[in-house]
Amino acid sequence: MSDEIKIKIRNLYKIFGDKPQMALAYVRNGMGKTELLAEHNHVLGLNNINVDMPAGKTTVIMGLSGSGKSTLIRHLNRLIDPSAGEVLVNGDDILSYNDKQLRDLRQHHMSMVFQKFALFPHRTVLENAGLAPSIEGMGKGKYQKDARKWLARVGLEGQDDQYPHQLSGGMQQRVGIARALTSNSDIMLMDEAFSALDPLIRTDMQNLLIELQAELAKTVVFITHDLDESLKLADHLVILKDGFVVQQGEPQHILLNPADPYIEAFVSDINRARVLRVRSVMRQTTEAMGEISGEVDHDANLESLIERSGGDTTNRYRVMKGGQQVGILEMTDLVRSLVPRGGSSDPDAARRAG
């Protein structure tokens, strides 16, 4: 993961109500979301959020409805202002920005892909993709080359003259992604961008995002309520509950080391063999360890290794990265990693834990 931090969030609070500063004092003294609403008729949106979002990587913010994830992402481009705290982008405190600086941030440095697509129905696909340059006064003749390039990259070549109502939901969201790419911003905010899509189309869009990230290395902030989607997309995963961060870190680490019963309940029903990677359960070593059954890439999932081994738990594999040994994986360690630590097999357990 990159050492460069693109976005820093420090001690961020958001309280909705007539007297947020009064309510903030109660929250800082330990009052929770339920009590604040019942006793003071204020809603606690965010509670002391501290997150570092690495440059060129995908940070996924995940939680159930009401956890604060959409509130949080809207602080990053100041669609919402906090009750307290800091939001630093490239080291600059954007809370101090004037209107001109905010416009520049939104037009040149941050783009947003919405759940409901947010396309203009009276504009063609090409005109929707070129929205950012057109807002700056650039004519279609100047932006169409870039817009067509990104439309082709997301699989919409030849659709320039179509209108949104002529496209499927998946195609409309591809236009939204092309629009974000045409803006040439280095940060992409994606708020439940795929949740309105059918499962197969949603999988296609997730794969497209992964391909684009491998190619472009944007700083992506992705909001979702779906743990499978989180584990598939995230380099850095932040899990929210009632406006505060329950746990954050590398997804593989969270899956193997849930820090809270709430997280344990979330991860208990995940297909761990499909999600976990060899690198997460291997023993790091560059030394030979006697007889081995073969070599395996550090980033292969455990499901592929189980199939390869035929279920033989006596096998041992040399783990390779870039042609060099980085570890040894014992099949017995692999099997142990598939057993959830605590948690519940009840799919509603996470909701009840909240």
- Per-residue pLDDT at 347 exceeds 70: no
Q: DSSP letters along 246-297, please?
A: EEEE-HHHHHHS--SHHHHHHHTTS-HHHH-BHHHHSEE--S--S--SEEEE
| 1 pLDDT tier (thresholds 50, 70, 90) | very low
The arrangement of secondary structure in 277-337, i.e. its CATH architecture, is: Roll (3.10)
- Per-residue pLDDT at 183 exceeds 70: yes
Please state which of the ranges 80-89, 112-121, 162-171, 217-226 shows the lowest mean pLDDT.
112-121
Torsion angle of C-alpha atoms 60, 66, 67, 68, degrees rounded to 10:
70
**What is the mean pLDDT of the segment spanning 48-73?**
95
- Per-residue pLDDT at 332 exceeds 60: yes
| 342 pLDDT tier (thresholds 50, 70, 90) | low
Cα gap 110→95, rounded to integer Å: 15
247-275, pLDDT tens digit by residue?
Answer: 999 998 998 889 889 898 888 888 888 88
- Per-residue pLDDT at 200 exceeds 80: yes
**What is the mean pLDDT of the segment spanning 147-175?**
90
What are the domain boundaries of the chain? 54-79+93-257, 277-337
Q: Distance from CA of residue 196 to its chain's centroid? A: 16
Mean pLDDT of the chain: 89
Higher pLDDT, 40 or 112: 40
pLDDT at 245: 96
pLDDT at 194: 87
Higher pLDDT, 223 or 3: 223
The neighbouring-strand residues paired with 112 are 189
| 340 pLDDT tier (thresholds 50, 70, 90) | confident
**Residue 308: other Cβ atoms inside 10 A:** 15
| 343 pLDDT tier (thresholds 50, 70, 90) | very low
Q: Which two tokens stand for residue 340?
A: 């959830």
Q: Which of 135, 161, 20 is nearest to 80 (CA)?
A: 20
- Per-residue pLDDT at 115 exceeds 60: yes
* Site of tokens 């101090």: 96
**Residue 96: other Cβ atoms inside 10 A:** 8
Cα gap 222→237, rounded to integer Å: 10
Cα gap 125→164, rounded to integer Å: 7
pLDDT at 202: 87
Highest mean pLDDT out of 15-24, 204-213, 228-237, 293-302: 15-24
Q: Which two tokens stand for residue 127?
A: 């005109």
Same fold, 54-79+93-257 and 277-337: no
Pairing of strands 324-330, 316-321: antiparallel
Cα gap 327→111, rounded to integer Å: 40
Cα gap 353→102, rounded to integer Å: 39
Pairing of strands 5-16, 84-89: antiparallel
**54-79+93-257 topology per CATH:** Rossmann fold (3.40.50)
pLDDT at 270: 83
Q: Which of 175, 185, 6 is nearest to 107 (CA)?
A: 185
99 and 212 Cβ atoms separated by less than 8 Å: no
pLDDT at 19: 96
pLDDT at 341: 66
Q: Which of 164, 166, 185, 186 is nearest to 175 (CA)?
A: 164
The identity of residue 273, as a single letter, is A
**What is the mean pLDDT of the segment spanning 55-69?**
93
